[in-house]
Amino acid sequence: MRRVARRALKKCQGCHPLKPGKHNSWGPNLYRVIGRKAGSADGYGYSAALQAADFIWSAARLDEFLRDPKANLPGTTMVLKPLPDAAARADIIAYLAAASARE
């Protein structure tokens, strides 16, 4: 994993747990986020934008979102700055997929 991706992933993990059964913190749990309906993690108070979102998180959708969260989902409260590095986004998404596959 590239340095840019590692730094971005650390930022993700500062707010988002990534283990099954972990409670939400500042952000919803990202365990098995790929394939999950947006705004549907139990026990998390989503922004109105994510509550109204009508899509399933896919690798492509995560890539769009991470590229520029506020532009791709206006009204989100996600504090991540845009991540223009496509390789870093791909690394993060691959890590999320791999971490969700392990049990």
Percentage, residues of the chain above pLDDT 70: 94
27 SS3 class: coil
Residue 61 contacts residue 55 (beta carbons within 8 Å) = yes
**pLDDT bracket for residue 19 (50, 70, 90):** confident
Read off the CATH number of the domain in which 12 is found: 1.10.760.10
Average pLDDT value for residue range 35-48: 91
Whole-number Å distance between alpha carbons of 64 and 71: 9
Nearest Cα to Cα of residue 97 among 30, 22, 21 = 30
Domain range holding 97? 3-101
* Domains contained in the chain, number: 1
**pLDDT bracket for residue 40 (50, 70, 90):** very high
> What percentage of the chain's residues is helix, strand, coil (to nearest 5)?
45, 0, 50
